[in-house]
Amino acid sequence: MEGHHCISTLEIAEIYFNTSSQNLKQLAKDFFNSMDEDHDEKVSLTEFLNNMKEEGLVKAENPPEMFKALDMNRDGSLDFKEVMALYYVIKSGRPFCGGCGKFIPGMFFSCSICFDNEDDKFCVCPKCFSNENKSYTHKHMPDRFLDNFALLEAKRKMAMDTRMPPPLPEEPKKKSTWLLRLLESAIGVAVVAGAEGATVAGSTAVADLAAEGDSCSIM
């Protein structure tokens, strides 16, 4: 749609930062300062790799590839906003692809069974998931995978179902008498046709049922 775009990880991180409390903002700034070893207001690849290795911040199979993904302006270093994107990745548990091993900055597919029951929720990027010659093997079938948006919606519906009260038992249906069926027919016609046409249609219903009533004994 015009005026809309796919929001980036950096933009998401910036939104979270701007709406955070002062305490959380300070924690984010402390995180940046801890990575900026030479205090030049940017994080080099060397500083990034040192922190990744020493602190074990994320399980990256290819840290330089992740650095490249975070370096949005391609200047060879990470500024504060780009490090905030890393901070968001860590806190939100953004995954690495179980196929190619690369960091997934956008939409991904997760195994719904592993997501609920395993230590590794097993996620793959769209390219690997859609590849007919899949670059990965997994113990569960592809039809068990959901993208992150569909998975979130499925979890929401499951939570709502657990909160819903059990359905009330249905009341036994009463036997319709000729008069009751006549009223039900007239009401149904009024709802569908509207008040203006209800009189004519209702009269037709009365005439149709009157013939049946001739053969019934009304007590």
Query: Which pLDDT does position 30 carry in this prediction?
Result: 93
Whether residue 15 contacts residue 81, with contact meaning beta carbons closer than 8 Å, is answered with: no
* Band of pLDDT at residue 54, cut at 50, 70 and 90: low
Using a cut of 0.75, tell me whether the model's pTM lies above it.
no
Domains of the chain, each with CATH number or no CATH: 1-94 (1.10.238.10), 106-160 (no CATH), 178-214 (no CATH)
pLDDT per residue as tens digits for the range 167-196: 676 665 555 555 555 544 544 444 333 334
pLDDT per residue as tens digits for the range 18-27: 999 999 899 9
Would you list the DSSP string of 112-177?
A: HHHHHH-SS--EE-HHHHH-SS-S---SS-GGGEEEHHHHHHHHHHHHHHHHSPPPPPPPPPPPPP
Work out the average pLDDT over 29-38: 92
